[in-house]
């Protein structure tokens, strides 16, 4: 089965095409600047040179049509015919409390996703544009939606409620949802497989640390707590997001600096985190380089980043009353040996023993970086959210047959 995976943003559309017979990627690409002048399409068919096109793409319907044109292009296309696409899978950020797993798109599902626009105003409306664009370009092809929040729906109310008036939960669904669920789910399954241990027997903490960052406590394959909250702003210190701060800072700063709600929101999401502390970068590579050249602000940003992550790992180990496996994934987790080393060296009392040589190896493969004696196994697991979306899409569409 050929499956098209879409991640629609408000002015962008990321795509990947999988042949599910062997889970190989046939093509992938990105449409940018949809609805603006000079939209850009970057397309790469496996085995061919990358193609870049600048044209006018006014909306998502036209963007999906362009993607199909590229996939069926005579020269570099990977499909003979548009009918070869048998299913489409969409990444959807917010599934609220309604969606506890991936589902087939129906009119009722579309209505529910629309009801969630309030909770994810920057993301869900864009995803819906992707779904509607497929409806009009591939009207007979089944679509599946895979939610970033779904994996965390197993959390207990002890973990997902905030200690604020419960009327806010009842009326407005103010609670912890958690994000990056597809990634946490994917890496936990692969970590258990790699260790050849049943996932059901493991207490695990998965650290998805990239530009956005979250960590999740997983018991027996189920998310029991996660650091992102009602929005992806809570939790760890990130590239440009603050993560946890005292909520009273918000009204205080609004008052002192005469900021509007939008301005303070933008400050916490776009001008905080490592960018704010280092003074010039949100990128862990640049922070590490500057730190090694003696930049004190970069050093402080790095130290705070690690310290806050370590605190979460400690609290989740306590929440689970144990820890068997610690997983690092995403841009920083997969690539930064320096961050992994600093984290592991701060929590040796758990019985973590880092294999420094294994940690220093650069590789795109899943690998263990703890010593044979380490009580807690430490793994680097490259994440692959698109593949998980493709697998769910394939499984759900197959069940229709």
Residue from the set 188, 223, 278, 335 that interacts with ligand AMP by CB under 6 A: 335
Residue 97: phi, psi to the nearest 5?
A: -95, -5
225 is catalytic: no
Among 330, 369, 376, 381, binds ligand AMP (CB under 6 A): 330
Q: How far is the CB of 29 from ligand AMP (least distance, A)?
A: 17
Q: Is 239 in the site for ligand AMP (CB under 6 A)?
A: yes
For position 210 contacting ligand AMP by CB under 6 A, the verdict is yes
Does position 205 bind ligand AMP by CB under 6 A?
A: no
Least distance in angstroms from the C-beta of 185 to ligand AMP: 16
Block residue for tokens 């797993």 = 101
**Does 336 help bind ligand AMP (rule: CB under 6 A)?**
yes
**Burial of residue 177 (number of CB atoms within 10 Å: 0-12, 13-18, 19+):** buried
Residue 398's SS3 state is helix
**46: DSSP letter:** T
- Greatest alpha-carbon span in the chain: 62
Q: Which is nearer to ligand AMP, 102 or 335 (CB)?
A: 335
State which of positions 283-312 bind ligand AMP (CB under 6 A). 283-285, 288
To ligand AMP, the closest distance from the beta carbon of 69 in angstroms equals: 28
Helix intervals (H) in 173-272? 181-195, 249-257, 261-270
Strand partners, 222: 219
Evaluated on CA atoms 169, 171, 174, 176, the torsion sign reads positive
State yes or no: 314 annotated in a binding site.
no
Residue 301: other Cβ atoms inside 10 A: 27
Interatomic CA distance for residues 118 and 125, integer angstroms: 9
* Shortest separation between residue 332's beta carbon and ligand AMP, angstroms: 4
Least Å distance, CB 338 to ligand AMP, is 7
Q: Which is nearer to ligand AMP, 172 or 285 (CB)?
A: 285
Which of 8, 105, 332, 381 binds ligand AMP (CB under 6 A)? It is: 332
Q: In what order do the strands lie in the sheet with 377-380?
A: 222-226, 213-219, 203-209, 325-329, 377-380, 367-368
State the binding site for ATP.
14, 208-212, 283-285, 331-335
Q: Active-site positions?
A: 148
State the binding site for Mg(2+).
7, 385
Site residues (vs ligand AMP, CB under 6 A): 210-211, 239, 283-285, 288, 330-332, 335-336
């Amino acid at each position: 089965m050929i499956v098209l995976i879409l991640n629609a943003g408000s002015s962008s559309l990321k795509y990947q095409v999988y042949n599910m017979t062997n889970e190989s990627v046939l093509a992938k690409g990105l449409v940018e600047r949809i609805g603006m002048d000079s939209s850009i399409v970057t397309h790469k068919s496996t085995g061919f040179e990358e193609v870049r096109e600048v044209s006018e793409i006014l909306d998502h319907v036209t963007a999906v049509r362009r993607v199909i044109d590229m996939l069926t292009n005579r020269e570099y296309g990977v499909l003979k015919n548009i009918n070869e696409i048998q299913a489409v899978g969409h990444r959807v950020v917010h599934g609220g409390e309604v969606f506890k797993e991936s589902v087939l798109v129906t009119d009722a599902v579309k209505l529910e996703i629309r009801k969630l626009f309030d909770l994810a105003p920057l993301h869900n409306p864009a995803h819906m544009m992707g779904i509607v664009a497929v409806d009009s370009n591939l009207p007979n092809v089944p679509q599946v939606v895979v939610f970033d929040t779904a994996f965390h729906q197993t959390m207990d109310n002890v973990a997902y409620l905030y200690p604020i008036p419960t009327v806010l939960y009842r009326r407005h669904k103010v609670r912890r949802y958690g994000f990056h669920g597809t990634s946490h789910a994917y890496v936990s399954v692969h970590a258990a497989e790699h260790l050849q241990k049943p996932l059901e027997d493991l207490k695990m903490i998965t650290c998805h640390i990239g530009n956005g960052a979250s960590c999740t406590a997983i018991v027996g394959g189920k998310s029991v707590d996660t650091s992102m909250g009602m929005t992806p702003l809570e939790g760890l210190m990130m590239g440009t997001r603050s993560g946890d701060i005292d909520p009273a800072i918000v009204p205080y700063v609004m008052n002192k600096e005469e900021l509007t709600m939008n301005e303070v929101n933008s400050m916490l999401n776009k001008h905080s985190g490592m960018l704010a502390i280092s003074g010039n970068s949100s990128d862990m590579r640049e922070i590490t380089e500057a730190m090694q050249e003696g930049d004190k602000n970069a050093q402080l940003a790095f130290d705070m980043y690690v310290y806050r992550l370590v605190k979460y790992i400690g609290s989740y180990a306590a929440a689970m009353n144990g820890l068997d496996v610690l997983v690092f994934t995403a841009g920083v987790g997969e690539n930064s040996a320096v961050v992994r080393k600093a984290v592991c060296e701060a929590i040796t009392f758990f019985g973590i023993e880092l294999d420094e040589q294994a940690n220093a190896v650069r590789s795109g493969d899943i690998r263990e970086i703890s010593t044979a004696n380490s009580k807690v196994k430490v793994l680097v697991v490259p994440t692959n959210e698109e593949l998980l979306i493709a697998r769910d899409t394939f499984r759900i569409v197959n069940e229709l047959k």
